[in-house]
Amino acid sequence: MKKLFIKILPFLVAFISGILLYTITDNFITDTGLNNLLINVAAGLVSIPLVFIFYDVINKITSRNLHNSLFESITIEINNQLIELISYLSNILNLKQPETLNELDDFLDLEQSEIYQNLPILPVKTEPLKDIKDQLMQVVHKPSSFEILTETQISALLNITKEISFLIKNLSKKSEKKNLSKHKKIIAMNIEYIITNLTTWIESGKKDAFHNHARFSLSNDKKD
């Protein structure tokens, strides 16, 4: 709104000037020729800026609607993949997949020690993670994504994809028994960092919208 005001400010000044000129001319200029000339100038100062003001306001409303549509489309694509990511992490950690806001909060509150305790025997299949990463990268690197998403959201998504790469490598890696504890701690850190950035993404958008969208997929209901 502030940008719009700054953009139309010159037109507002011209519009107000036109009204003042008309008022002064109508009340104080008695010469017919000069009166008509100034009235015409005042009419131009009022009508022309009015056209540009209406144009900018309508353009702003239209752009906002388009922005909202693009944002909704992009976030649905991203949320689809993040839901799959939450589902994958829940499965490998042998946890119930979150289906309510409270359960989602519990998942996002997982600490490194809890993650470590629930880690499975390694190595683990990572093909789903690779697909999730590829799909996220495609969405994030769309030109429209950089125009629509905030810096915080883009940073969170880039951090998630980067950490997924590390997680894929670590989950696929075989470790000797003497190094297993250290290896699992590294994986727990990977997952904790992913969850931290998932939290950032969700809190920077609409948490209810994420839950409402996620509810069907997380409960394996394909109604959407």
Q: Per-residue pLDDT tens for 38-50?
A: 889 988 888 888 8
pLDDT tens-digit map of 130-156? 999 999 999 988 887 877 888 899 999
Comparing 223 with 126, the larger pLDDT belongs to 126
Asked whether residue 216 carries a pLDDT value surpassing 50, the answer given is no
Mean pLDDT, range 204-210, rounded to an integer? 64
**166/99: higher pLDDT:** 166
Q: Say how many Å lie between the first and final Cα of the chain, rounded.
A: 35
> Please, are residues 42 and 12 in contact by the beta-carbon 8 Å criterion?
no
| Dist CA 86 CA 170 (whole Å) | 18
Confidence tier at 217 by pLDDT (50, 70, 90): very low
Q: Which letter, b or e, does each residue of 85-117 get, where b requires 16 or more Cβ atoms within 10 Å of its Cβ?
A: bbbbbbebbebebbbeeebbeebbebebeebbe
Q: Is the pLDDT of residue 222 over 50?
A: no
